[in-house]
Amino acid sequence: MTTTPTKTPRPLRTVKSFVRRQGRLTLGQEKALETVWPVYGVEFKPEKLDLNTLFGRHAETILEIGFGNGDSLLQMAIKHPEKNYIGIEVHRPGIGHLLQNIEQTETRNIRVFCHDAIDVLKQQIPDHSLDRLQLFFPDPWHKTRHHKRRIVQPDFALLVAQKLKHGGLFHLATDWQNYAEHMLKVLNACHPFHNLSAENIFVPRPEERPLTKFEQRGHRLGHGVWDLLYQRN
């Protein structure tokens, strides 16, 4: 009697909130990735980091997911040298651009990851270690069938809450109204957080978030931007 071998079920594929876009590196970006990354880059390892050791000091620590070309992250770090900044991005030209500027401006209070932010948060960032987490203009995945790819989901909100100190802040911004409404619904339902808007809606752009060139162009074209600010209970 012939039996059919049992198939081993494949593990479920994790839905990613990003697509790796390699793009073309300039010579300056390529050089920065070779020479500056060893100083300010952090390689992914599935073990918790000691943030005080990472920066060589104890200071308020802000983490930004998806910093793009890093211009606004750099502005914040230069303006607040007393704070530590962690940036996570998967787009190598953007990382190279930021590393170039870190070297040129001699900014010392930034550390950079090139890896999936969910992995970094889960496996490398200690619980209750961050004073602020920033998520500015994430991919809106505007088609309905792609909404499952949006990074802001209930599980993600709980993960952020786990990494923030009590009283820590979660600041989000988007220029897609539908995504803004989605963020608002998810975060308002996440019990570890409370909305710092008195009406439980959006807030004016906080001074801590620099106004980007992209955003300025959007304002001129009449595009809206929605900021959300939550505090960890």
> Is 139 annotated as catalytic?
yes
Q: What is the 3-state secondary structure of the chain?
A: CCCCCCCCCCCCCCCCCCCCCCCCCCHHHHHHHHHCHHHHEECCCCCCCCHHHHHCCCCCEEEEECCCCCHHHHHHHHHCCCCEEEEECCCHHHHHHHHHHHHHHCCCCEEEECCCHHHHHHHCCCCCCEEEEEEECCCCCCCHHHHHHCCCCHHHHHHHHHHEEEEEEEEEEECCHHHHHHHHHHHHCCCCEEECCCCCCCECCCCCCCCCHHHHHHHHCCCCCEEEEEEEC
Q: Which of 139, 155, 175, 227 is catalytic?
A: 139
- Rounded CA Rg of the chain: 19
Q: Which residues contact 75 (CB under 8 A, 6 or more apart)?
A: 210
Residues with catalytic function: 139
